[in-house]
Protein backbone atom coordinates (compact mmCIF):
# COMPACT_ATOMS: atom_id res chain seq x y z
CA UNK A 1 0.00 0.00 0.00
CA UNK A 2 1.55 3.36 -0.93
CA UNK A 3 2.47 5.86 1.74
CA UNK A 4 -0.13 8.41 2.68
CA UNK A 5 2.24 11.13 1.49
CA UNK A 6 2.12 9.74 -2.05
CA UNK A 7 -1.68 9.73 -2.07
CA UNK A 8 -2.16 13.40 -1.27
CA UNK A 9 -1.89 14.78 -4.83
CA UNK A 10 -4.72 12.55 -6.05
CA UNK A 11 -7.13 13.21 -3.21
CA UNK A 12 -10.22 15.28 -3.69
CA UNK A 13 -10.59 18.44 -1.66
CA UNK A 14 -12.63 16.80 1.05
CA UNK A 15 -10.05 14.07 1.55
CA UNK A 16 -7.20 16.55 1.51
CA UNK A 17 -8.95 18.59 4.16
CA UNK A 18 -8.93 15.54 6.41
CA UNK A 19 -5.19 15.03 5.92
CA UNK A 20 -2.97 16.21 8.79
CA UNK A 21 -1.77 19.72 8.04
CA UNK A 22 1.85 18.64 8.50
CA UNK A 23 1.63 16.40 5.41
CA UNK A 24 0.16 19.07 3.11
CA UNK A 25 3.58 20.43 2.15
CA UNK A 26 4.63 22.50 -0.80
CA UNK A 27 6.90 21.04 -3.51
CA UNK A 28 10.57 21.75 -3.05
CA UNK A 29 12.87 23.64 -5.40
CA UNK A 30 13.81 21.37 -8.25
CA UNK A 31 11.31 18.73 -7.19
CA UNK A 32 9.76 18.67 -10.65
CA UNK A 33 13.07 17.96 -12.39
CA UNK A 34 12.80 14.18 -11.87
CA UNK A 35 16.34 13.27 -10.75
CA UNK A 36 17.81 10.19 -12.40
CA UNK A 37 16.82 6.94 -10.63
CA UNK A 38 20.46 5.96 -10.16
CA UNK A 39 21.10 9.25 -8.34
CA UNK A 40 18.19 8.71 -5.98
CA UNK A 41 19.40 5.17 -5.28
CA UNK A 42 22.92 6.48 -4.60
CA UNK A 43 21.56 9.12 -2.22
CA UNK A 44 19.52 6.46 -0.43
CA UNK A 45 22.65 4.33 -0.04
CA UNK A 46 24.54 7.40 1.17
CA UNK A 47 21.86 8.13 3.76
CA UNK A 48 22.05 4.58 5.08
CA UNK A 49 25.86 4.51 5.25
CA UNK A 50 25.99 7.95 6.86
CA UNK A 51 23.36 6.98 9.43
CA UNK A 52 25.29 3.82 10.31
CA UNK A 53 28.17 6.07 11.41
CA UNK A 54 26.25 8.61 13.49
CA UNK A 55 26.56 6.77 16.83
CA UNK A 56 29.44 4.20 16.92
CA UNK A 57 31.85 6.95 18.04
CA UNK A 58 29.69 7.22 21.16
CA UNK A 59 28.47 3.70 21.91
CA UNK A 60 31.87 2.09 21.29
CA UNK A 61 33.25 4.41 23.95
CA UNK A 62 30.42 3.54 26.35
CA UNK A 63 31.24 -0.16 26.05
CA UNK A 64 34.91 0.51 26.95
CA UNK A 65 34.43 3.47 29.30
CA UNK A 66 35.98 1.72 32.29
CA UNK A 67 39.09 0.76 30.28
CA UNK A 68 39.38 4.27 28.84
CA UNK A 69 39.04 5.79 32.31
CA UNK A 70 41.84 3.59 33.62
CA UNK A 71 44.04 4.15 30.56
CA UNK A 72 43.71 7.93 30.71
CA UNK A 73 43.42 8.11 34.54
CA UNK A 74 39.99 9.77 34.54
CA UNK A 75 37.84 10.36 37.61
CA UNK A 76 34.10 9.69 37.56
CA UNK A 77 33.40 13.40 37.16
CA UNK A 78 35.78 13.69 34.19
CA UNK A 79 34.13 10.65 32.63
CA UNK A 80 30.82 12.44 33.12
CA UNK A 81 32.26 15.38 31.19
CA UNK A 82 33.30 12.94 28.45
CA UNK A 83 29.76 11.59 28.16
CA UNK A 84 28.47 15.17 27.94
CA UNK A 85 30.74 16.05 25.02
CA UNK A 86 28.42 14.57 22.32
CA UNK A 87 25.40 16.78 23.04
CA UNK A 88 27.66 19.81 23.55
CA UNK A 89 29.27 19.31 20.15
CA UNK A 90 25.89 18.63 18.54
CA UNK A 91 24.54 21.88 19.94
CA UNK A 92 27.56 24.00 18.96
CA UNK A 93 28.32 22.57 15.55
CA UNK A 94 24.74 21.80 14.55
CA UNK A 95 24.02 25.53 14.32
CA UNK A 96 26.58 25.76 11.52
CA UNK A 97 24.91 23.13 9.32
CA UNK A 98 22.27 25.29 7.54
CA UNK A 99 24.81 27.99 6.67
CA UNK A 100 27.33 25.42 5.43
CA UNK A 101 24.64 23.68 3.38
CA UNK A 102 23.59 26.97 1.83
CA UNK A 103 27.17 27.75 0.81
CA UNK A 104 28.56 24.37 -0.19
CA UNK A 105 25.50 22.15 -0.69
CA UNK A 106 24.09 19.62 1.78
CA UNK A 107 25.76 16.66 0.05
CA UNK A 108 29.22 18.23 0.27
CA UNK A 109 28.74 19.01 3.96
CA UNK A 110 27.69 15.44 4.74
CA UNK A 111 30.69 14.16 2.77
CA UNK A 112 33.00 16.37 4.84
CA UNK A 113 31.18 15.25 7.97
CA UNK A 114 31.89 11.57 7.26
CA UNK A 115 35.56 12.42 6.62
CA UNK A 116 35.72 14.28 9.97
CA UNK A 117 34.23 11.27 11.76
CA UNK A 118 36.83 8.95 10.23
CA UNK A 119 39.70 11.31 11.08
CA UNK A 120 38.58 11.82 14.68
CA UNK A 121 38.21 8.08 15.26
CA UNK A 122 41.68 7.41 13.86
CA UNK A 123 43.33 10.06 16.03
CA UNK A 124 41.66 9.80 19.43
CA UNK A 125 42.76 6.36 20.71
CA UNK A 126 46.48 7.08 20.38
CA UNK A 127 46.74 10.76 21.23
CA UNK A 128 47.77 9.88 24.78
CA UNK A 129 46.00 12.46 26.97
CA UNK A 130 42.53 13.23 28.23
CA UNK A 131 42.52 16.66 26.58
CA UNK A 132 43.67 15.21 23.26
CA UNK A 133 41.11 12.42 23.49
CA UNK A 134 38.39 15.01 24.03
CA UNK A 135 39.61 17.15 21.11
CA UNK A 136 39.73 14.21 18.68
CA UNK A 137 36.31 13.10 19.88
CA UNK A 138 35.04 16.62 19.21
CA UNK A 139 36.31 16.42 15.62
CA UNK A 140 34.34 13.22 15.02
CA UNK A 141 31.32 14.66 16.79
CA UNK A 142 31.46 17.78 14.64
CA UNK A 143 31.00 15.56 11.60
CA UNK A 144 28.13 13.78 13.30
CA UNK A 145 26.52 17.07 14.31
CA UNK A 146 26.25 18.59 10.85
CA UNK A 147 25.08 15.28 9.39
CA UNK A 148 22.44 14.96 12.10
CA UNK A 149 20.95 18.30 11.12
CA UNK A 150 21.07 17.72 7.38
CA UNK A 151 19.53 14.26 7.25
CA UNK A 152 15.91 15.53 7.43
CA UNK A 153 16.83 18.29 4.97
CA UNK A 154 18.23 15.84 2.41
CA UNK A 155 15.18 13.60 2.77
CA UNK A 156 12.86 16.57 2.25
CA UNK A 157 14.91 17.75 -0.75
CA UNK A 158 15.28 14.46 -2.65
CA UNK A 159 12.34 12.37 -1.36
CA UNK A 160 9.52 14.89 -0.69
CA UNK A 161 6.80 12.27 -1.24
CA UNK A 162 8.45 9.65 1.00
CA UNK A 163 9.41 11.57 4.13
CA UNK A 164 8.05 8.95 6.54
CA UNK A 165 9.55 5.90 4.85
CA UNK A 166 12.96 7.48 4.16
CA UNK A 167 13.16 8.89 7.70
CA UNK A 168 12.37 5.38 8.93
CA UNK A 169 15.08 3.90 6.69
CA UNK A 170 17.92 6.09 7.91
CA UNK A 171 16.65 5.97 11.51
CA UNK A 172 16.74 2.18 11.28
CA UNK A 173 20.31 2.32 9.93
CA UNK A 174 21.28 4.71 12.72
CA UNK A 175 19.90 2.31 15.33
CA UNK A 176 21.69 -0.61 13.66
CA UNK A 177 25.04 1.18 13.74
CA UNK A 178 24.47 2.11 17.37
CA UNK A 179 23.65 -1.48 18.33
CA UNK A 180 26.53 -3.01 16.37
CA UNK A 181 29.08 -0.74 18.03
CA UNK A 182 27.70 -1.60 21.47
CA UNK A 183 27.59 -5.34 20.77
CA UNK A 184 30.90 -6.03 19.05
CA UNK A 185 33.31 -3.45 20.50
CA UNK A 186 34.18 -5.57 23.54
CA UNK A 187 34.59 -8.86 21.58
CA UNK A 188 36.62 -7.11 18.89
CA UNK A 189 38.82 -5.56 21.57
CA UNK A 190 39.38 -9.01 23.05
CA UNK A 191 40.22 -10.44 19.64
CA UNK A 192 42.78 -7.65 19.16
CA UNK A 193 44.60 -8.55 22.36
CA UNK A 194 42.49 -6.58 24.84
CA UNK A 195 43.82 -3.22 23.65
CA UNK A 196 41.02 -0.65 24.08
CA UNK A 197 42.74 1.65 21.62
CA UNK A 198 42.52 -0.94 18.85
CA UNK A 199 38.90 -1.63 19.82
CA UNK A 200 38.01 2.03 19.26
CA UNK A 201 39.95 2.68 16.07
CA UNK A 202 38.19 -0.05 14.05
CA UNK A 203 35.12 2.19 13.77
CA UNK A 204 37.05 4.57 11.53
CA UNK A 205 36.78 2.04 8.68
CA UNK A 206 32.99 2.23 8.11
CA UNK A 207 33.18 6.01 8.48
CA UNK A 208 35.74 6.18 5.68
CA UNK A 209 33.54 3.98 3.47
CA UNK A 210 30.58 6.31 4.11
CA UNK A 211 32.47 9.16 2.42
CA UNK A 212 32.31 7.49 -0.99
CA UNK A 213 28.62 7.86 -2.02
CA UNK A 214 28.61 11.55 -1.12
CA UNK A 215 31.54 12.42 -3.39
CA UNK A 216 29.09 12.51 -6.31
CA UNK A 217 27.19 15.35 -4.60
CA UNK A 218 30.23 17.43 -3.65
CA UNK A 219 29.76 19.60 -6.74
CA UNK A 220 25.99 19.80 -6.30
CA UNK A 221 25.15 23.38 -5.33
CA UNK A 222 21.39 22.89 -5.36
CA UNK A 223 20.38 24.86 -2.28
CA UNK A 224 18.88 23.24 0.74
CA UNK A 225 15.09 23.55 0.76
CA UNK A 226 13.88 27.09 1.19
CA UNK A 227 17.16 28.88 0.61
CA UNK A 228 16.47 29.88 -2.96
CA UNK A 229 12.76 29.55 -3.50
CA UNK A 230 9.53 31.07 -2.22
CA UNK A 231 8.24 29.68 0.99
CA UNK A 232 4.75 28.25 1.34
CA UNK A 233 3.33 31.63 2.26
CA UNK A 234 4.62 33.19 -0.94
CA UNK A 235 7.19 35.35 0.84
CA UNK A 236 10.70 35.28 -0.54
CA UNK A 237 12.98 32.85 1.19
CA UNK A 238 15.12 34.54 3.77
CA UNK A 239 12.60 37.35 4.29
CA UNK A 240 11.58 35.95 7.66
CA UNK A 241 14.52 36.06 10.06
CA UNK A 242 15.54 32.72 11.51
CA UNK A 243 14.83 33.89 15.06
CA UNK A 244 11.12 34.09 14.32
CA UNK A 245 10.94 30.39 15.00
CA UNK A 246 11.37 31.21 18.69
CA UNK A 247 7.78 32.51 18.63
CA UNK A 248 6.46 29.02 17.94
CA UNK A 249 5.27 26.95 20.87
CA UNK A 250 5.45 23.89 18.66
CA UNK A 251 9.13 24.56 17.90
CA UNK A 252 9.91 24.97 21.60
CA UNK A 253 7.94 21.85 22.48
CA UNK A 254 9.83 19.88 19.85
CA UNK A 255 13.19 21.29 21.01
CA UNK A 256 12.44 20.31 24.62
CA UNK A 257 11.21 16.87 23.57
CA UNK A 258 14.32 16.38 21.45
CA UNK A 259 16.57 17.54 24.28
CA UNK A 260 15.02 15.29 26.90
CA UNK A 261 15.07 12.20 24.69
CA UNK A 262 18.70 13.00 23.82
CA UNK A 263 19.47 13.27 27.55
CA UNK A 264 18.04 9.79 28.10
CA UNK A 265 19.85 8.40 25.06
CA UNK A 266 23.30 9.71 25.96
CA UNK A 267 22.97 8.70 29.59
CA UNK A 268 22.02 5.23 28.36
CA UNK A 269 24.84 5.00 25.84
CA UNK A 270 27.42 6.42 28.22
CA UNK A 271 26.47 4.83 31.53
CA UNK A 272 24.18 1.81 31.12
CA UNK A 273 27.00 -0.73 30.63
CA UNK A 274 28.63 0.60 33.81
CA UNK A 275 25.35 0.27 35.73
CA UNK A 276 25.12 -3.39 34.77
CA UNK A 277 28.82 -4.03 35.45
CA UNK A 278 28.50 -2.52 38.92
CA UNK A 279 25.52 -4.85 39.51
CA UNK A 280 27.75 -7.87 38.85
CA UNK A 281 27.17 -8.35 35.12
CA UNK A 282 30.27 -9.17 33.04
CA UNK A 283 31.71 -6.58 30.65
CA UNK A 284 30.78 -8.62 27.58
CA UNK A 285 27.19 -9.14 28.75
CA UNK A 286 26.87 -5.47 29.68
CA UNK A 287 27.89 -4.56 26.15
CA UNK A 288 25.31 -7.00 24.77
CA UNK A 289 22.62 -5.47 26.98
CA UNK A 290 23.42 -2.03 25.58
CA UNK A 291 23.32 -3.57 22.11
CA UNK A 292 19.85 -4.98 22.82
CA UNK A 293 18.70 -1.54 23.93
CA UNK A 294 20.04 0.04 20.78
CA UNK A 295 18.86 -2.82 18.54
CA UNK A 296 15.24 -2.22 19.54
CA UNK A 297 15.49 0.89 17.44
CA UNK A 298 16.19 -1.09 14.27
CA UNK A 299 12.65 -2.36 13.59
CA UNK A 300 10.86 0.34 15.57
CA UNK A 301 12.75 3.18 13.89
CA UNK A 302 11.27 2.03 10.60
CA UNK A 303 7.75 1.45 11.92
CA UNK A 304 7.27 4.48 14.17
CA UNK A 305 7.87 7.21 11.54
CA UNK A 306 5.44 5.53 9.15
CA UNK A 307 2.76 5.26 11.83
CA UNK A 308 3.42 8.78 13.11
CA UNK A 309 3.14 10.28 9.62
CA UNK A 310 -0.38 8.87 9.33
CA UNK A 311 -1.65 10.34 12.60
CA UNK A 312 -2.92 13.86 13.13
CA UNK A 313 -1.33 13.95 16.59
CA UNK A 314 1.67 11.98 17.80
CA UNK A 315 0.98 12.43 21.53
CA UNK A 316 -0.21 8.82 22.11
CA UNK A 317 3.07 7.46 20.74
CA UNK A 318 5.03 9.87 22.95
CA UNK A 319 3.18 8.70 26.07
CA UNK A 320 3.57 5.00 25.22
CA UNK A 321 7.33 5.37 24.78
CA UNK A 322 7.62 7.39 27.99
CA UNK A 323 5.79 4.75 30.02
CA UNK A 324 8.17 2.09 28.74
CA UNK A 325 11.03 4.27 29.96
CA UNK A 326 9.52 4.71 33.42
CA UNK A 327 9.03 0.96 33.84
CA UNK A 328 12.54 0.26 32.56
CA UNK A 329 14.17 2.71 34.97
CA UNK A 330 12.07 1.37 37.84
CA UNK A 331 13.31 -2.14 37.11
CA UNK A 332 16.90 -0.91 36.76
CA UNK A 333 16.59 0.63 40.23
CA UNK A 334 15.00 -2.39 41.94
CA UNK A 335 16.65 -5.38 40.24
CA UNK A 336 19.35 -4.32 37.76
CA UNK A 337 20.89 -7.78 37.32
CA UNK A 338 17.90 -10.07 37.81
CA UNK A 339 15.75 -8.40 35.17
CA UNK A 340 18.56 -6.96 33.06
CA UNK A 341 17.26 -8.19 29.69
CA UNK A 342 13.72 -6.93 30.32
CA UNK A 343 14.95 -3.49 31.37
CA UNK A 344 17.23 -3.31 28.33
CA UNK A 345 14.28 -4.09 26.05
CA UNK A 346 12.00 -1.51 27.66
CA UNK A 347 14.63 1.21 27.59
CA UNK A 348 15.28 0.34 23.95
CA UNK A 349 11.62 0.97 23.15
CA UNK A 350 11.73 4.23 25.08
CA UNK A 351 14.80 5.40 23.14
CA UNK A 352 12.75 5.23 19.93
CA UNK A 353 11.60 8.73 20.80
CA UNK A 354 14.53 9.79 18.59
CA UNK A 355 13.08 8.67 15.21
CA UNK A 356 9.72 10.01 16.34
CA UNK A 357 11.31 13.43 16.95
CA UNK A 358 12.96 13.36 13.53
CA UNK A 359 9.64 12.53 11.91
CA UNK A 360 7.90 15.38 13.70
CA UNK A 361 10.57 17.79 12.44
CA UNK A 362 9.48 16.95 8.91
CA UNK A 363 5.79 17.15 9.80
CA UNK A 364 5.71 20.33 11.84
CA UNK A 365 6.74 22.56 8.92
CA UNK A 366 4.94 23.09 5.61
CA UNK A 367 7.81 24.47 3.55
CA UNK A 368 11.38 23.43 2.89
CA UNK A 369 12.55 26.63 4.58
CA UNK A 370 10.58 25.63 7.66
CA UNK A 371 12.19 22.20 7.78
CA UNK A 372 15.69 23.70 7.63
CA UNK A 373 14.94 26.17 10.42
CA UNK A 374 13.07 23.69 12.57
CA UNK A 375 15.72 20.96 12.19
CA UNK A 376 18.52 23.34 13.17
CA UNK A 377 16.55 24.93 16.01
CA UNK A 378 15.08 21.76 17.53
CA UNK A 379 18.26 19.70 17.32
CA UNK A 380 20.75 22.40 18.35
CA UNK A 381 18.56 23.71 21.17
CA UNK A 382 17.65 20.17 22.19
CA UNK A 383 21.24 19.00 22.36
CA UNK A 384 22.14 22.13 24.32
CA UNK A 385 19.44 21.26 26.86
CA UNK A 386 20.74 17.70 27.11
CA UNK A 387 24.31 18.61 28.08
CA UNK A 388 23.90 18.64 31.90
CA UNK A 389 22.26 15.20 32.07
CA UNK A 390 25.21 12.82 31.52
CA UNK A 391 27.50 15.09 33.51
CA UNK A 392 25.08 15.20 36.44
CA UNK A 393 24.77 11.42 36.40
CA UNK A 394 28.55 11.10 36.69
CA UNK A 395 28.68 13.55 39.59
CA UNK A 396 25.79 11.87 41.44
CA UNK A 397 27.35 8.45 40.90
CA UNK A 398 30.73 9.54 42.26
CA UNK A 399 29.39 11.40 45.29
CA UNK A 400 26.57 9.03 46.29
CA UNK A 401 28.58 5.89 45.69
CA UNK A 402 25.75 4.13 43.88
CA UNK A 403 23.19 4.29 41.11
CA UNK A 404 20.04 5.05 43.12
CA UNK A 405 20.06 8.84 42.66
CA UNK A 406 21.19 8.78 39.00
CA UNK A 407 18.45 6.32 38.06
CA UNK A 408 15.86 8.37 39.95
CA UNK A 409 16.97 11.40 37.93
CA UNK A 410 16.61 9.48 34.66
CA UNK A 411 13.11 8.33 35.58
CA UNK A 412 12.06 11.81 36.70
CA UNK A 413 13.06 13.32 33.34
CA UNK A 414 10.61 11.03 31.55
CA UNK A 415 7.67 13.08 32.80
CA UNK A 416 8.61 16.45 31.22
CA UNK A 417 9.67 14.53 28.11
CA UNK A 418 6.13 13.20 27.71
CA UNK A 419 4.62 16.64 28.32
CA UNK A 420 6.88 18.31 25.74
CA UNK A 421 6.27 15.52 23.23
CA UNK A 422 2.50 15.84 23.49
CA UNK A 423 2.83 19.59 22.89
CA UNK A 424 5.10 19.03 19.87
CA UNK A 425 2.82 16.34 18.48
CA UNK A 426 -0.24 18.55 17.97
CA UNK A 427 -1.59 18.89 14.42
CA UNK A 428 -0.12 22.27 13.52
CA UNK A 429 2.95 23.71 11.84
CA UNK A 430 5.45 26.40 12.77
CA UNK A 431 4.19 28.53 9.87
CA UNK A 432 0.85 28.74 11.71
CA UNK A 433 2.54 30.23 14.75
CA UNK A 434 5.45 32.37 13.50
Distance, in Å, from the CA atom of 402 to the CA atom of 409, rounded to the nearest integer, reads 13
Its pTM surpasses 0.85: no
pLDDT at 16: 41
Angstrom CA distances, 421 to 269, 354, 361, 372, 395, stand at 22, 11, 12, 20, 28
Residues 39 and 54: beta-carbon distance below 8 Å: no
pLDDT at 409: 92
pLDDT at 80: 67
Distance, in Å, from the CA atom of 79 to the CA atom of 77, rounded to the nearest integer, reads 5
Distance, in Å, from the CA atom of 323 to the CA atom of 319, rounded to the nearest integer, reads 6
- Contacts of 330-336 spanning 24+ positions with Cβ under 8 A: 330/411, 332/275, 332/403, 332/407, 333/403, 333/404, 333/407, 333/408, 333/411, 336/275, 336/276, 336/279, 336/281, 336/403
Residues 314 and 356: beta-carbon distance below 8 Å: yes
Distance, in Å, from the CA atom of 371 to the CA atom of 150, rounded to the nearest integer, reads 10
Distance, in Å, from the CA atom of 292 to the CA atom of 286, rounded to the nearest integer, reads 10
Residues 237 and 228: beta-carbon distance below 8 Å: yes
Number of H helices, E strands in the chain: 21, 0
Residues 411-431: b if buried by 16+ CB within 10 A, e if exposed: bebbeebbbbbbbbbbbbbbb
Q: What is the pLDDT along the chain (434 residues), one digit of tens a residue?
A: 433 333 333 333 344 444 444 444 444 344 445 678 888 899 999 999 999 999 899 888 877 877 888 888 776 667 767 777 787 888 888 888 888 888 888 889 999 999 999 999 999 988 878 888 889 999 999 999 899 888 888 887 888 778 778 888 888 888 888 888 878 888 999 898 888 889 999 999 999 999 999 998 777 655 544 444 333 333 343 434 444 788 899 999 999 999 999 899 888 877 888 899 899 888 888 888 988 888 887 788 778 888 998 888 999 999 999 999 999 999 999 999 999 999 999 999 998 998 899 889 888 887 766 777 888 889 889 988 888 887 788 888 888 888 999 999 999 999 999 999 999 999 988 888 86
Amino acid sequence: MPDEETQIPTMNRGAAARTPRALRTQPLPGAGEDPAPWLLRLIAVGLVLAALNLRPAITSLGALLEEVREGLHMSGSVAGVLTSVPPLCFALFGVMAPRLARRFGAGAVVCAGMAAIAAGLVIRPYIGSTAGFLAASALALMGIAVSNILMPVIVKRWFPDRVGSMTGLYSMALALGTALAAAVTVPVTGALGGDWQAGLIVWAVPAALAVLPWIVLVRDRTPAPGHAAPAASGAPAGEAPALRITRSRTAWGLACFFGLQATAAYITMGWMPQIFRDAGVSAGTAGLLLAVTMAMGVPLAFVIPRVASRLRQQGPIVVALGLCGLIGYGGLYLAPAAGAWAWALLLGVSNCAFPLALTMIGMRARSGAGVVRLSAFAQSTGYLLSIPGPLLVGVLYQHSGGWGLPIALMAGLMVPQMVAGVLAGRDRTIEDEC
